[in-house]
Structure 1
Amino acid sequence: MVRSLKNPKKIKRKNRESKKGGSSSSSSAVPSAPAKVWRPGIDKLEEGEKLEFDPSAYNCLRGFGIGWPCLSFDIVRDSLGLVRTEFPHMLYGVAGTQAEQASWNYIGIFKVSNISGKKRDLLPASNADGEDADMDSESSSDEEDDDMDGLTQPILEASDMLYVAHHGCVNRIRSMPQKPHVCATWADRGHVQVWNFTSQLNALVESESKSSHGGNSIERIAPLIKFDGHKDEGFAIDWSPVIPGRLVSGDCNSCIHLWEPSADSWAVDKIPFVGHKASVEDLQWSPTDADVFASCSVDGNISIWDSRKGKSPALSIKAHNTDVNVISWNRLASCMIASGCDDGSFSIRDLRLLQEDSLMAHFEYLKQPITSIEWCPHEASTLAVSSADNQLTIWDLALERDEEEEAEFKAKIKQQANAPDDLPPQLLFVHQGQNDLKELHWHQQIPEMIVATAADGFNVLMPSNLSTSLPPS
């Protein structure tokens, strides 16, 4: 289990000379030295070297911070459009802090505006002659190119965020899909709270200027409900995508509690679901079944629960030999679930075959604990994975090894850098440069956009080699 951010310090703004970068490569400060791919855990930065990112690898790359380091955040669904492809972009989010003292913590409700980048069509358009008309998609304005070197220039200003006091560190925070202004938080003090951030989000939506929302003052509001029935702190929490307001929360004492919405509050079942032999690390509701959810645990198991059939698991499987830190249920292909564990491996299972051999894929490329895993909301075969070795990786399970094409690709990249030879064919992208990566989320409404939090702040990125095919509207 890897959760806490070590020695949290207030995040300071970085200028363009900073050595921090969203890097998938490194280069020496000596002009004559060739560029080389930097491998975490293997290569070391020598004196005079620094990590740099390749602008051509990204359609968009930006960084920002909310003050204290953040262990968990969520992207808030907005009303700006279900599928947005045109720059500039805007996103809303909620994030919880990991401050040095309990009383210094807060929930940040934020807006990131003017996210610019390279224009690229999701699918190449065709002209009347049947030829691909993608000339415009491969070019970008001088302004866009100039913007790409602004990774270390934060774009989140104080007037774009409001602060709500939260006693104790925020272990996890989740926004309700159907009512995004309602959020649930897990506190390291051992309680779960549900909040209403309607006024804060409305204030951010209505603000189109840099007018202040009260500076850095922290607002104190009462949660809608505070549940103290857990006997230990926890990190697992999830809203149902099927039943608005239905919630599950799991703790380090191996207990899971079900929350049922009731008028303007919740009725929390005091009798927990029990089946794991150790801490419940993550929870995920089924994307299609209102009564079914999955859990993973330090005991190495993934369990499937049906709330209609008692307080014991309907099915359990030994998924990993070490702590299972995170799971993700595929919302486009609901038979698939992904899990990541402490030894750096992650697996994909077919839930239809749990009583047989359900393992569809298993990857051991990453060598440090998996800290976050999430399926892409727009491509059923694609998922993103972060690990404690400071890598954010994107994988496409639909890809297969093509020896001829692979040899041609390796020859090409060998001309540019000394890339490793043992890259799995399903590995699409590697993002580096963030320190102590903790959580990532795909943006549900902006295809190919990922937001990730780490000890040194947030990155917003859109890799240039992803290809999202969306159904016609």
Structure 2
Amino acid sequence: MKERDGKATVDERYTQWKSLVPVLYDWFANHNLVWPSLSCRWGPQLEQATYKNRQRLYLSEQTDGSVPNTLVIANCEVVKPRVAAAEHISQFNEEARSPFVKKYKTIIHPGEVNRIRELPQNSKIVATHTDSPDVLIWDVETQPNRHPMLGAAESRPDLVLTGHQQNAEFALAMCPTEPFVLSGGKDKSVVLWSIQDHISSLAESSSKSPVSSTPNSGGKSSIKSGEKNPESLGPRGVYQGHGDTVEDVQFCPSSAQEFCSVGDDSCLILWDARVGTSPVVKVEKAHDADLHCVDWNPHDQNLILTGSADNSVRMFDRRNLTSGGVGSPIHKFEGHKAAVLCVQWSPDRASVFGSAAEDGFLNIWDYEKIGKQKEHTGVKTPNSPPGLFFQHAGHRDKVVDFHWNASDPWTIVSVSDDCGSTGGGGTLQIWRMSDLIYRPEDDVLAELEKFKTHILTCSPKA
């Protein structure tokens, strides 16, 4: 009975949300997936046009074994702000594939794709995590397109990063300032690599034969399709300090030497490669349960977000962090009803971030709005947690990943694992909330006033 009631609640919530889509969103695209996806990421922008831009999109396909698991490279048409009509926005079919998303290339992945991360210095280079100790590096442009059929041979990664002693499944990050890769795993360790030589040799040999190899400064050769085994690369450093599985890692936005990690030991750890492989700061109890995710603010490098199985997001100021004991967050964001799986700061606004959870919601927060709801309205709405200003309710099961679009900062791609609602697959959604929601109130009122004047001017006189 409980399951049936829960299902009814989800369906009712979804129906109510769908009726509000033309009001809440400036653009919305729903793409039904044949297989669930555990990760989605924006790639480089390819083309700009009058009404829309074309951009790469990376996502995974997690199959049941009847066909291979794949890493999918798609082309996405991103409609520009204030172009899509409300009627068009409302006319989506949740059981269909979106015309805005077209598969460009398929890579047959050795195992499930648990995480995808793109290299900021060269976004055609991506790293993936699977159920193994290795991190796999792919040049998605030079990789051959493969057809995922039963018995098909796996694609060969361009580089394999070794160093974990046990499986490393989820914790994965690329450095914004240097071609460094960071990973965490079940061996309780954080591992750092530099792929500088590999990237250099790829650039040097891009115009050469696919079967050629170019020596790099380490005396190894860059793998090309046609070679039997991919090159492997050992770590630059291995960092020990967690007491359980490391679930997420992140670089400091301005330093390749500073990074942080969170894990199932409830710890948040800050590291500095310049001072050794031991923690610089280890917050023993950052949350009341396992930590699933972490992100470092690209605009204010003192602010770090964490998300946990205790259903909360917490924001820490690294200047206030001390080792041991219970962490003292600047604020606790408590708007989810289930474990938080992903947090990410907005690339556009220093105070804005998103959080996705197992409750099926993707919440958008602004910590500068904390306390201001009461100032504007005179009362505090009990159903609206402080700082929460938008709730994306388009997914019907846990939202496993999302990514802000740096080329179009208020556009978000998100994926959910809603097999029960989609006949075994997942749902990919690309959406941008109405700018009337996030713009300053004075700007919105001024614009509405202009429309009022325009309407009065254009209306027929009696």
TM-score range, shorter chain: 0.7 to 0.9
2:402 is aligned with 1:459:
no
Please give the residue correspondences for 1:139-178 in structure 2 after superposition, counting only pairs within 5 Å: 145-150=87-92, 152=94, 153-156=96-99, 160-178=103-121
Corresponding residue of 2:31: 64
Secondary structure at 1:110 match in 2: strand
Secondary structure at 2:256 match in 1: coil
Q: For residue 150 of structure 1, report the CA deviation from its aligned partner.
A: 1.9
Higher mean alpha-carbon deviation, 66-75 vs 366-375, is at 66-75
2:388 is aligned with 1:427:
yes
Q: For residue 59 of structure 1, report the CA deviation from its aligned partner.
A: 0.6
**Maintained 8 Å contact 1:89/1:116:** yes
**Maintained 8 Å contact 1:77/1:444:** no
1:422 partner letter: N
Equivalent-residue separation in structure 1 for 2:56 and 2:13 (angstroms): 39
Distance 1:104 1:309, change over 3 A: same
Corresponding residue of 1:406: 377
Higher mean alpha-carbon deviation, 51-60 vs 176-185, is at 51-60
2:331 is aligned with 1:361:
yes
Q: For residue 65 of structure 1, report the CA deviation from its aligned partner.
A: 4.2
Equivalent-residue separation in structure 2 for 1:46 and 1:197 (angstroms): 41
**Maintained 8 Å contact 2:307/2:343:** yes
1:227 partner letter: L
Equivalent-residue separation in structure 2 for 1:186 and 1:224 (angstroms): 14
Q: For residue 157 of structure 1, report the CA deviation from its aligned partner.
A: 7.7
1:67 partner letter: V
Equivalent-residue separation in structure 2 for 1:146 and 1:157 (angstroms): 13
Please give the residue correspondences for 1:222-237 in structure 2 after superposition, counting only pairs within 5 Å: 222-234=156-168, 235-237=170-172
Q: For residue 223 of structure 1, report the CA deviation from its aligned partner.
A: 1.2
Equivalent-residue separation in structure 1 for 2:36 and 2:115 (angstroms): 13
Distance 1:289 1:40, change over 3 A: farther
Q: For residue 161 of structure 1, report the CA deviation from its aligned partner.
A: 2.6
Equivalent-residue separation in structure 1 for 2:13 and 2:118 (angstroms): 44
Corresponding residue of 1:333: 300
2:315 is aligned with 1:381:
no
Distance 1:49 1:398, change over 3 A: closer
Corresponding residue of 1:188: 131
How many equivalent pairs are there?
384
**Maintained 8 Å contact 2:180/2:196:** no
Q: For residue 466 of structure 1, report the CA deviation from its aligned partner.
A: 2.2
Task: Choose from 241, 251, 254 the match for 2:188.
Answer: 254
Q: For residue 280 of structure 1, report the CA deviation from its aligned partner.
A: 0.4
* Deviation by residue 1:26-67 (Cα, 9 ceiling, x = unmatched): xxxxxxxxxxxxx98995657997762411011111111453
Please give the residue correspondences for 1:262-281 in structure 2 after superposition, counting only pairs within 5 Å: 262-264=196-198, 267-269=233-235, 272-281=238-247
Secondary structure at 2:23 match in 1: helix
1:396 partner letter: D
Distance 1:183 1:49, change over 3 A: closer
Distance 1:459 1:262, change over 3 A: closer
Equivalent-residue separation in structure 2 for 1:102 and 1:196 (angstroms): 26
1:426 partner letter: G
Equivalent-residue separation in structure 1 for 2:63 and 2:266 (angstroms): 30
Secondary structure at 2:88 match in 1: helix
Distance 1:47 1:467, change over 3 A: closer
**Maintained 8 Å contact 2:109/2:155:** no
2:246 partner letter: V
**TM-score, normalized by length of structure 2?**
0.75
**Maintained 8 Å contact 1:59/1:117:** no
1:97 partner letter: E
1:241 partner letter: P
* Deviation by residue 1:183-234 (Cα, 9 ceiling, x = unmatched): 111111332111111236xx9xxxxxxxxx8877788542122234322222
**Maintained 8 Å contact 1:117/1:147:** no
**Maintained 8 Å contact 2:315/2:330:** yes
2:408 is aligned with 1:446:
yes
Q: CA RMSD in A?
A: 3.2
Equivalent-residue separation in structure 1 for 2:171 and 2:305 (angstroms): 16
2:138 partner letter: W
Secondary structure at 1:181 match in 2: strand
* Deviation by residue 1:93-136 (Cα, 9 ceiling, x = unmatched): 212222112861011011112x44761xxxxxxxxxxxxxxxxx
**Maintained 8 Å contact 2:106/2:147:** no
* Deviation by residue 1:150-198 (Cα, 9 ceiling, x = unmatched): 2534225895331111121011111101111111111113321111112
Equivalent-residue separation in structure 1 for 2:113 and 2:405 (angstroms): 21
**Maintained 8 Å contact 1:175/1:183:** yes
* Deviation by residue 1:246-285 (Cα, 9 ceiling, x = unmatched): 1111112211211122522674228621100000000100
| Structure 1 unpaired stretches of 5+ | 1-38, 120-139, 204-212, 411-419
2:398 partner letter: D
Corresponding residue of 2:290: 323
Structure with bigger RCO (C-alpha 8 Å, 6+ apart): 1
Higher mean alpha-carbon deviation, 182-191 vs 275-284, is at 182-191
Higher mean alpha-carbon deviation, 306-315 vs 220-229, is at 220-229
**Maintained 8 Å contact 1:260/1:268:** no
Secondary structure at 1:56 match in 2: helix
Equivalent-residue separation in structure 1 for 2:63 and 2:287 (angstroms): 33
Structure richer in helix, relative to its length? 2
Secondary structure at 1:154 match in 2: coil
Secondary structure at 2:142 match in 1: helix
Equivalent-residue separation in structure 1 for 2:13 and 2:346 (angstroms): 39
Distance 1:468 1:335, change over 3 A: farther
Sequence identity (%): 24
Corresponding residue of 1:99: 63
Secondary structure at 1:429 match in 2: strand
